A and B are shown apart, each in its own frame.
Chain A
Amino acid sequence: MPSDSSQSNPTVASRPVYDSAQRRHPFAEEAYELWRFRELVLLWASRNIKLRYKRSVLGILWTLIEPLMLLTILTVVFSTLFRFQLERYPIYLLSGLLLFDFFSRTTLQIIEEIVASQGLASRVYAPRTVFAVATVLTYLTNWAIALIPLLAIMAILGQPFSVALLTVPAGMILTSLFALGVGLLVATLGASFHDFKLTYQVLLTAWLYATPIIYPLEIVPEKFHRFFKLNPLFYLCETVRDPAFLSTVAPTNVWLIACVVSVGTAILGWWVFTTRRGVLEHLG
């Protein structure tokens, strides 16, 4: 033993102690660790946003232009081809499309981030949900920016700006929870099978067409409605679309279902991710 091992360390009493016997259940442990690393979440999200804008020439402008271009294409295709009678279709379409765009990008990117962080996580200790939550924050910021073109189109088409619009952020937060839950579920699979992302991409395309976003539910025969109402995105869409398109707050039962489904999915995803992760780690 060297002489300095007996030297008293003035800060020793405040040393953090990690005792594996006192570990909480992985579900709680991960939540606790995420909170401890909250600054990393914010830094990681701002890193993602910075990189996104550094890489594209138009930078932040692109976030504004992209939805408008998509909108133009879909408006031309669907309102001339299918000719359903929907006044102010662009508002209907864009408000739902931004939600779906957020959902699909977030969940796909969570798979990517979790897979990429496997390399990092084998070298540096950091809770893995950091990368999932940071991804949600990244695309949530993006979604908020993309609301500017939506508001501009509402102004152009003479849609009144009602107080109901104030409930849109709540719908966005619920959608974020849902996206986090689904993202963690698909990332658990995506981390083990590198082809899962492709399977999921196909699923997402089907999901888009199964949700009344490009078309109104009214064009679907009444008897099929109950199937459409099994889709969580149907309710989440209403929470952010009704204030923009109908200038009303979504019905209470829609909010209730959206809340239960989003929180439930987030908990389920967190559970599966945190309890299965140890197994996945050891799969190598």
Chain B
Amino acid sequence: MSTLAEPGHQPVRRSPAEAPAIQLTDISVCFEMPAERIPSFKEYVLRRLTGRIERRQLWALRDVSLEVGSGEVLGVVGRNGAGKSTLLKVISRVLHPNHGHLVIRGNVAPLLELGAGFHFDLTGRENVYLNAALLGQPIREVEEHFEEVVDFSELREFIDFPVRNYSSGMLTRLGFSVATMIRPDILLIDEVLAVGDARFQEKCLQRINEFRSFGTTIILVSHQTSEVERHCDRALWIDHGKVAAFGDTQDVVAHYRRALDETDEEGL
């Protein structure tokens, strides 16, 4: 899809189909926070003058290098706070890494928090346009696909009501429909497959599989290792911001499970 194409400033590649969709080299993300919270401007100025500001660094990702081939489905496992979501944020460009080199080929559709940016006082219709624009879609594309979005979300009767009156299921349905309006080159999924009821969820999976068969690269973050085993070509295990294992899905998941069992025995 050339919806985000920026003609004239991208390098021309001789065999673009072979170039990996995602290349991360030594990516590090550091969250720097004051050792104690200084929320007040007056206090900050005072402490600055007296030179008493300590900072603590927290490395969410450290020297992460990986390549994801075009059309590949990569599963990401790891404990809470290991850096999985940070990784997705780096790929979706929400976070700039402090160090490292990052190449992303293709447009990225993040299914991170569906309907992020919906405004409750606006109608479903208005939110479709706004959300699509937030995701970087041109208005003419939205106009072209609007009917499909409404059909897919099954919210035709409610589309002109403020989304304040929508249930959370309806919100995620609309969010999913907008985010997947146009087939992306890269799809990021962060545990959001719980979209609406079982039947609608089935529909979403179908759409994702369709994307996959057309060559969309998928990164799936999940706590359910069985889900990763079922869907993914390769897997990545992140632990404390570092790559603990990367490669064959069965191997990585087995390693990860063993590590989980061990820490359980230690009583953590």
Answer yes or no: B49 CB below 8 A from chain A CBs. Answer: no
B95 contacts A281, C-beta separation under 8 Å = yes
**Residues of chain B from 104 to 125 with CB closer than 8 A to chain A in the complex:** 104-108, 110, 112-113, 116-117, 119, 121-122
Chain A residue contacts of B38, Cβ below 8 A: 193
B93 contacts A124, C-beta separation under 8 Å = no
Of A36, A39, A43, A199, the residue contacting B6 (CB under 8 A) is: A36
B103 contacts A2, C-beta separation under 8 Å = no
The tally of residues in B whose CB lies under 8 Å from a CB in A reads 66
Chain B residue contacts of A54, Cβ below 8 A: 121
Residue among A120, A126, A282 with most chain B CB within 10 A: A282
Of B42, B96, B103, the residue contacting A17 (CB under 8 A) is: B103
Q: Kindly specify which of B66-74, B195-203, B236-244, B252-260 makes contact with the partner chain.
A: B66-74
Chain A residue contacts of B2, Cβ below 8 A: 11, 14-16
A16 contacts B4, C-beta separation under 8 Å = yes
- Separation in Å of the A107 CB from the closest CB of chain B? 16
**A249 to B11 alpha-carbon distance, docked (Å):** 51
Chain B residue contacts of A4, Cβ below 8 A: 71, 212-213, 215
Chain A residue contacts of B31, Cβ below 8 A: 282, 284
Answer yes or no: B1 CB below 8 A from chain A CBs. Answer: yes
Interface flags, A1-36, vs B, CB<8A=1, else 0 = 110111111011111111111100000000000001
Answer yes or no: A276 CB below 8 A from chain B CBs. Answer: no
- Separation in Å of the A280 CB from the closest CB of chain B? 10
Given contacts A7-B215, A9-B215, contact A43 B103 (CB under 8 A): no
- Separation in Å of the B2 CB from the closest CB of chain A? 4
A284 contacts B33, C-beta separation under 8 Å = yes
Answer yes or no: B136 CB below 8 A from chain A CBs. Answer: yes
Q: How many A-B residue pairs have CB under 8 A?
A: 165
**A4 to B110 alpha-carbon distance, docked (Å):** 21
**A195 to B135 alpha-carbon distance, docked (Å):** 32
**A9 to B213 alpha-carbon distance, docked (Å):** 11
Chain A residue contacts of B89, Cβ below 8 A: 122
Answer yes or no: A37 CB below 8 A from chain B CBs. Answer: yes
Chain B residue contacts of A120, Cβ below 8 A: 116-117, 134
A123 contacts B126, C-beta separation under 8 Å = no
Chain A residue contacts of B113, Cβ below 8 A: 123
**Residues of chain B from 1 to 36 with CB closer than 8 A to chain A in the complex:** 1-2, 4-6, 9-11, 16-17, 30-34
Answer yes or no: B180 CB below 8 A from chain A CBs. Answer: no
Chain A residue contacts of B119, Cβ below 8 A: 47, 51
Chain B residue contacts of A143, Cβ below 8 A: none
B39 contacts A2, C-beta separation under 8 Å = no
A124 contacts B117, C-beta separation under 8 Å = yes
Interface flags, B188-226, vs A, CB<8A=1, else 0 = 000000000000000000000000111100000000000
Interface flags, B24-67, vs A, CB<8A=1, else 0 = 00000011111000111110100000000000000000000000
Chain B residue contacts of A284, Cβ below 8 A: 31-33
Chain B residue contacts of A16, Cβ below 8 A: 2, 4-6, 10, 105-107
A121 contacts B215, C-beta separation under 8 Å = no
B17 contacts A12, C-beta separation under 8 Å = yes
A2 contacts B233, C-beta separation under 8 Å = yes
Answer yes or no: A88 CB below 8 A from chain B CBs. Answer: no
Answer yes or no: B94 CB below 8 A from chain A CBs. Answer: yes
Given contacts A14-B2, A43-B130, A193-B44, contact A123 B107 (CB under 8 A): no
Question: Taking beta carbons and an 8 Å cutoff, which residues of A are in contact with B?
Answer: 1-2, 4-9, 11-22, 36-37, 39-40, 43-44, 47, 50-51, 54-55, 120-126, 189, 192-196, 199, 278-279, 281-284
23 A-B pairs whose Cβ atoms sit less than 8 Å apart in the complex: A1-B233, A2-B73, A5-B70, A5-B72, A5-B215, A12-B185, A15-B107, A16-B10, A16-B105, A16-B106, A20-B96, A43-B130, A120-B117, A120-B134, A124-B112, A125-B108, A125-B110, A189-B41, A193-B40, A194-B39, A281-B96, A282-B98, A284-B31
For the A-B complex with A15-B1, A123-B110 known, give 4 more contacts whose Cβ atoms are closer than 8 Å. Answer: A15-B107, A19-B11, A22-B9, A193-B38
